Amino acid sequence: MGAVHRNMEPADTDDKWVFGPGSAVWEVTRELSLLSGGPAAATLQTAHPGVALGVARHSRFRENAWQRLRHTLLATWGVGFGTREEAEAVRAEMEAIHRRITGPKGAANPEGEDPRSGDPEYPLGQHYELQFWVLATLIQGSVDGYERVHGPMSADLRERFYREMQVFGTYFGLPERYGPPDWAGFTQYYQEMIHADWMASLPECREIAAAVALPPKPWWAHVLMLPNRFLLAEYLPHPINEKLGFPSTRWSRLQRRVLDWLLPRVVPLLPPILRYPPKYRHACRAAKRQAAHPS
């Protein structure tokens, strides 16, 4: 199984996957250890006022924050490691959700829907802008999670991963190649966003962030997510962490140092069943069978 994870080349006998073996998406996002930064990425999404208001209006986030996290994870794995057929099913589901939220005009927050929609202090954003911000948190969170285990990512892998994630974004409602053209442009965009004064500026941002960080229901998810405060304090970028109510403390910094020491030493020793998600392991087995018996 180890050879499948590390050495498999892209299969050229079939167009079965959106990405497939040898892709940057498979290489970067296959580690379950990335889940340590998952809540931070989900919370960072709600720092954008437009995303926060969309969640507040169109979901029962106080009751189903855990389900939202789970659904996002399964959809991400479905596109990243699934077949084209599975990815198209995710696309259809996302399109149905976006139609319910945005309406026929495609604006995430039509003018007049909220009294703050015309206020430049609270830029709610159009549909594509909000979708790209959500994608950006996944991109940066994945790179950060990869580097916590493997060390600095090569420039080539960063560029390939970013370009592939732009394709990934098309399954969640974005036009092809939407966003900055390269990693340098993406980094500039990301830094400008997290330092924008209007980010995390609404009460809804903090309220939804709190529900994501510590879902009130079900009870076992509440218990499971108790360590989340230190992860958010350290994995959310500054100053977003403080604006959302998760300031870095001496205790959280100590916990992060311990985790950062453990991950690169423990993760490479784990067996595949503990290291990689089921969807990825299933895709690897399918790719290995295809390579052995090309049609």
User: Lowest mean pLDDT: which of 27-41, 46-60, 107-121?
Assistant: 107-121
- What rounded mean pLDDT belongs to the chain? 83
Q: How is the chain split into domains, by residue range?
A: 2-292
At 228 the pLDDT is: 74
Query: Mean pLDDT throughout 209-215?
Result: 81
Which one is predicted more confidently, 239 or 215?
239
Angle (deg, nearest 10), helices 61-81 and 203-213: 70
98: confidence class by pLDDT, cuts 50, 70, 90: low
Q: Taking 90 as the threshold, does the pLDDT of residue 156 lie above it? A: yes
Average pLDDT over residues 20-46: 91
83 phi, psi to nearest 5 deg: -75, 170
Query: b/e string for 236-275 if b means 16 or more Cβ within 10 A?
Result: bbeebbebbbbebeeebeebbeebeeebeeebeeeeeeeb
Return the structure tokens found at 172: 């969640």
**pLDDT at residue number 291:** 78
User: What is the C-alpha separation between 81 and 4, in angstroms, rounded?
Assistant: 14
pLDDT score recorded for residue 81: 95
Contact status, residue 73 vs residue 229, Cβ threshold 8 Å: no
Q: Is the pLDDT of residue 146 over 90?
A: yes
Predicted TM-score (pTM) of this structure: 0.84
Helix (H) or strand (E) holding 40: helix 38-45
Average the pLDDT over each of 105-109, 119-123, 202-206 and give the range with the smallest value.
105-109
pLDDT at 105 over 60: no
Q: What percent of the chain has pLDDT over 90?
A: 57
Q: Is the pLDDT of residue 125 over 90?
A: no
Residue pair 31/275 in contact by the 8 Å Cβ criterion: yes
- Tell which wins on pLDDT, 213 or 257: 257
